Structure 1
């Protein structure tokens, strides 16, 4: 029992698909493809559980709604990954509860972008705990007041981005649909400022303790949108073929990282430099803001160079990884 997938979105030409600068058409394609892949994966799970119609039927129905063009929030994506993990771990007793939740998450279109606090994010809180285990403690509950304050700063940042960087604004709007304000783990040596994860397509976690100005908001949004974009570009193959257990020095972390993490850090640093240099030239910033943007861009360029040196020395890039990085390298060198 399976859904019949709708026609797949036409893949854009390479210069659009791998464009370094933001491209709204590419972002819309990536979002559509993520939903198509979710539909196909749910259809596969429906076939895998066809001996239990009470499980198979709602999975196939959810796949059908997605194949017909429904766009959903990060809850549906994360719930799929959890259901798949339950099947792989052969723990079917928990399936009915999670399939019912997935069915509910795929019955309504995703709402407009909202900002909510960790600890008050409903199903997202549950799924972060389920999918991340002990690591979920790195994203501690925040307060409604902190989330509201962050939402206000986000509104200022989005408004500036829409005027100064309209293509980045369109790219982000196509990809990010839920923002959760979360605090860092108490007593930790390092604190996260922003995070995203491929299993939670459309979700962005931000720490309200950071990003205190509209310019800082633009920079972190450029950072996290770039991570999400890379997730969307790597459905068919990874960015790098280096084993995850092989670790290398990172330009943005004090601890060694897998090559995939080094690649992500380098790429998002280049895109942050693009955002800061472009917005500095927009004429929309005050003199202090322009100076801060150029300082940030210089730091971002240095981080890209540091990451690139590690990639060039040790990276085993896939064709996708090579195509994406080549365009980032070209922009930096221009």
Structure 2
């Protein structure tokens, strides 16, 4: 990967409309940051654990040679960093050895599922990060459910590629794995999609939702927009509000920190963009275009609710202000 695409992945060059080049640049920048951090950690491990330090240097070299890593590698990196910062150098060295064994990301968007052997490497790391209570909300699914949803996902990506090629390019540049799971039996609330900044390239989706290709397009636009924000805010947060400050969310019934409100607001604008483009595509059946227009109206209403809270209560960073300015300009038709 050359330095050219990475150079445009700053928030001050961000443009609201999706871009495959921007997706590639952000992914390159995230991996370059990882390589630099691994090399830094290797220096600190070297005196007591030279073999682990060498292993990290080798991973950093692979990344600089253009290799891309799957989400589990990023999860292990955060675990290792926390152990090192906490003074547990031995634990950090052990994690380094595990991280060094993680193979390169497979080409294309991989579908894995909770309960399947293909999630055995990722799930324990993800479960530890979530904690027992939150992890319990992601229950296993059957192989049949996974197969059925993978076909829907393929159809949704094909629809996106046809009608929204720029969004398709951006998403497929950023995402590497979709982990399927469902809510446990008897749950009062269940997720339909999720992402986590410590697992770059990962989406979690519930196959009990997103029953049509259009619904798949919308949820990918939704969740990938969260990942986009993660990639744009590597050096500065979106908001300066404390996480102890809670506010009404446009997309959740429970009060949320301002960072979550900001995410939901921006994501609503990105979803509106996707659905409005779908509604305007002459290649799509009129029924599909009408459904997309209805969904876009809902997304715009959610943006209006969110931006009101952001304007009233958010203390935006320079990065956060620049990004939201772009979203607002799109919604306002500028």
CA change 1:181–1:34 in 2 (3 A) is same
Q: Which residue of 2 aligns with 1:275?
A: 274
Q: Which residue of 1 aligns with 2:98?
A: 101
Cα deviations by residue, 1:85-134 (Å, 9 ceiling, x for unpaired): 222333444445422221011x5343332111112212111111121112
Which 10-residue stretch deviates more, 314-323 or 50-59? 50-59
Q: Give the 3-state SS of the residue equivalent to 1:205 in structure 2.
A: strand
Cα deviations by residue, 1:4-50 (Å, 9 ceiling, x for unpaired): xx968552287983211101111111000000011011111111112
Q: Are the counterparts in 1 of residues 6 and 29 from structure 2 also a CA contact under 8 Å?
A: no
Verify: 1:110 aligned to 2:109, yes or no: no
Verify: 1:90 aligned to 2:87, yes or no: yes
Which 10-residue stretch deviates more, 49-58 or 300-309? 49-58
Q: Which residue of 2 aligns with 1:289?
A: 288
Verify: 1:56 aligned to 2:53, yes or no: yes
Which 10-residue stretch deviates more, 81-90 or 202-211? 81-90
What CA distance in whole angstroms lies between the structure 1 residues aligned with 2:13 and 2:170? 13
Q: Which residue of 1 aligns with 2:32?
A: 36
CA change 1:21–1:7 in 2 (3 A) is closer
The count of corresponding residues between Structure 1 and Structure 2 is 329
Select 1:125's aligned residue among 119, 123, 135: 123
CA RMSD of aligned residues (A): 1.9
Unaligned runs of 5+ in 1: 1-5
Verify: 1:68 aligned to 2:65, yes or no: yes
Q: Which residue of 2 aligns with 1:3?
A: none
What CA distance in whole angstroms lies between the structure 1 residues aligned with 2:165 and 2:107? 22
Q: Are the counterparts in 1 of residues 19 and 170 from structure 2 also a CA contact under 8 Å?
A: yes
Q: Which residue of 2 aligns with 1:203?
A: 202
Q: Are the counterparts in 2 of residues 115 and 148 from structure 1 also a CA contact under 8 Å?
A: no
What CA distance in whole angstroms lies between the structure 1 residues aligned with 2:130 and 2:9? 36
What CA distance in whole angstroms lies between the structure 2 residues aligned with 1:125 and 1:149? 21
Verify: 1:218 aligned to 2:217, yes or no: yes
Q: Give the 3-state SS of the residue equivalent to 1:115 in structure 2.
A: strand
Q: TM-score, normalised by structure 1?
A: 0.94
Q: Which residue of 1 aligns with 2:265?
A: 266
What CA distance in whole angstroms lies between the structure 1 residues aligned with 2:277 and 2:98? 43
Q: Are the counterparts in 1 of residues 42 and 54 from structure 2 also a CA contact under 8 Å?
A: yes
CA change 1:60–1:8 in 2 (3 A) is farther
Q: Are the counterparts in 2 of residues 16 and 26 from structure 1 also a CA contact under 8 Å?
A: no
Q: TM-score, normalised by structure 2?
A: 0.94
Q: Give the 3-state SS of the residue equivalent to 1:250 in structure 2.
A: coil
Q: Are the counterparts in 1 of residues 52 and 93 from structure 2 also a CA contact under 8 Å?
A: yes
**Which structure 2 residues correspond to residues 12-23 of structure 1 after superposition, within 5 A?**
12=8, 17-23=13-19
Q: Deviation at 1:166? A: 0.1
Q: Give the 3-state SS of the residue equivalent to 2:309 in structure 1.
A: helix
Q: Which residue of 2 aligns with 1:80?
A: 77
